Amino acid sequence: MRKQDMNRDWIATARTLSQALPYMQRYSGARVVIKLGGHAMGSDEAMATFAADVVLMRQVGVNPVIVHGGGPMINAMLEKLDIKSEFVNGKRVTDKATMDVVEMVLSGLVNKRIVQAINAQGGRAVGLSGKDANLIECIPTDPALGLVGTPNKMDPRILETLFAQEMIPVIAPLGSGANGETYNINGDTAAGAIAGALKADRLLLLTDVSGVKNAEGEVVTEMTAAQIREMTADGTIAGGMIPKTETALDAIASGVRAVVILDGRAPNACLLELFTDHGAGSIIRR
């Protein structure tokens, strides 16, 4: 790079940093719930970039909460164990044998990978599932789905305790039933319930597409509830996007200020969304 171009690069970097100040002030003390989907979890390098963003947020006074998925990792383990699995409207039909694998993969492999990545960047992450400290109590979603749970009672006190200590909760989407059962919760649904219980300022749903697309394949940047209902009814919103948009509507209804569906594979996606005016993806506001 020529010296003149390098100077221009530094000036642009300095401008971006100084423009972040009002955003950092606005989000200081804010609660930001980030759902990291299995498809958005890339290489170790991408995970390290994500983890560094989360630690930066914590450093400037944001209270980040990570809720993760891990669908592709569960699929890989089920395949190894020769257990068949199917999805209905974006939710995995879950019998007892499948539930054991889901819990092992989510609370074990996936949760600890994220915890370690954040701690390697200088943060203090604590891995939990919705079963810890009665964070999420579930009722069955639909008898046809087996042990898939819908959160019906939340106790977010454990999260307040961790915020006070400047620790970063990393949560696997599992819940307890009234009779001691374990439920498999769709990651987006769990993130929405946690964001709702915290009355979060932002819920960021990180996925592998740049936002919610219309029938022409273009990302719709601002979405209303009516638009979501219409696009779901006509099939434009399908598969794994259904739990995301359903979650967005439920979260808004329970007091979350705004939900953003964005591409988690884009480097620094969370920082760009929170601290610059280059917000990406689809936003649904209260």
Are 271 and 280 a contacting pair, CB within 8 Å?
no
Per CB under 6 A, 209 contacts ligand X2W: no
Position closest to ligand X2W via CB: 69
Alpha carbons 181 and 130: distance in angstroms, whole number: 12
Are 130 and 182 a contacting pair, CB within 8 Å?
no
Q: Which of residues 107, 184, 207, 247 is near ligand ADP by CB under 6 A?
A: 207
Sheet holding 258-263, edge to edge: 125-129, 168-172, 63-68, 31-36, 202-207, 258-263, 282-285, 222-223
Q: Where are the alpha helices (DSSP H) in the chain?
A: 3-27, 44-59, 71-80, 96-103, 111-120, 157-164, 187-198, 225-233, 241-253, 269-275
Per CB under 6 A, 123 contacts ligand X2W: no
Q: Which of residues 27, 32, 34, 37 is near ligand ADP by CB under 6 A?
A: 37
Q: Which two tokens stand for residue 3?
A: 């010296």
Instruction: Find the shortest distance in angstroms from Cβ 115 to ligand X2W.
Output: 17
The annotation status of 70 as a binding-site residue, yes or no, is yes
Measure Cα distances from 236 to 44, 241, 242, 280 in Å: 33, 10, 10, 20
**Residue appearing with tokens 């009722």:** 139
Choice between 1 and 143, CB closer to ligand X2W: 143
Instruction: Find the shortest distance in angstroms from Cβ 131 to ligand X2W.
Output: 14
Per CB under 6 A, 123 contacts ligand ADP: no
Instruction: Find the shortest distance in angstroms from Cβ 69 to ligand X2W.
Output: 2
The annotation status of 187 as a binding-site residue, yes or no, is no
Instruction: Find the shortest distance in angstroms from Cβ 238 to ligand ADP.
Output: 4
Considering only residues 63 to 92 of the shown chain, the ones binding ligand ADP according to CB under 6 A are: 69, 71
The annotation status of 92 as a binding-site residue, yes or no, is yes
Per-residue x/- track, 132-171, ligand X2W (CB under 6 A): ----------------x-----------------------
Alpha carbons 188 and 180: distance in angstroms, whole number: 23
Per CB under 6 A, 283 contacts ligand ADP: no
Are 259 and 203 a contacting pair, CB within 8 Å?
yes
The annotation status of 63 as a binding-site residue, yes or no, is no
DSSP 8-state code for residue 199: T
Applying CB under 6 A, which residues contact ligand X2W?
37-38, 69-71, 74, 91-92, 102, 148, 173, 184-187, 240
Applying CB under 6 A, which residues contact ligand ADP?
37-40, 69, 71, 207-209, 212-213, 236-241
Residue ranges for the known binding site are: 70-71, 92, 184
